[in-house]
Amino acid sequence: MELANQVALVTGAGQGIGRASALALAVAGAHVVVADINGGNVEATASTIAATQRRALAVQADVGDLQEIDRMVRQAVETFGHIDILVNNAGVTRRADIMELTEADWDRIHRVNAKGVFFCLQRVAREMIPRRSGRIINIASIAGKGYAGTSNAAYAASKGAVIALTKTASQQLGKHNINVNSICPGVTRTPLSDANLRVRAERAGITMEEMDRRRAEGIPLQRTNDPEDIAAMAVFLASAGARNITGQSFNVDGGIIPD
């Protein structure tokens, strides 16, 4: 129970990496605020956490909207008194070639993946600074480090922004004893990645199973991530063992990107 009685806020916690991270933090002892734009999914995650004997608060929120972010954080603080950990996970994408991307694609992706991550970080930091304590974990992607298999260029740019934000935020929040790191998942089995895989399979004229096999062949360890692989890193970065780690972006990708 490394994180006993700490309070974590996880965005995009209705499915995939966010859900796995919320559950892993609860198993490690944290009470968890689970936030997602999909109210049904977030209630389901909260119910599962409650079964671990940890407290959970479900909040339906759109992290692309600053008023929604403020409401989400206020609800968390009103319920638990403070926030110790932020897992800044909510994100969107779609499979597209660089010449297919539209202004609407760019705005939608950056609204959540870049703007949402920044303003969630900023709003939660306002709660952490007076307490001189906090762990902020941004979910970036190896797409932000140049992974050729990225879903699209706008997505890669948004995740590159998260990596850069992590570095600068760690430098400016360090004096308040707030650690800021990011995790860069590689190919991870989530509903979002499955949707992209389906598009790739259709374009190649093969089954999803065959496309999944080809995808794994390009990974040195020959396997894709489960969401729990990312969640395990999030728990570590939230723990006392990572107290002197900040400003870093860690790949969890089976060896695709060597740095």
Give yes or no: 147 in active site: no
- Give the C-alpha separation, 237 to 80, whole Å: 21
Assess contact for 8 and 25: CB atoms under 8 A: yes
Q: Dump the DSSP string for 130-186.
A: GGT-EEEEEE--GGGGT-TT-S-HHHHHHHHHHHHHHHHHHHHHGGGTEEEEEEEE-
At residue 60, what are phi and psi to the nearest 5 degrees?
-85, 120
Which of 155, 169, 230, 234 is flagged as catalytic? 155
End-to-end CA distance of the chain: 31
- Report the SS3 class of residue 155: helix
- Rg (C-alpha) for the chain, rounded Å, is 17
Annotated catalytic residues are 155
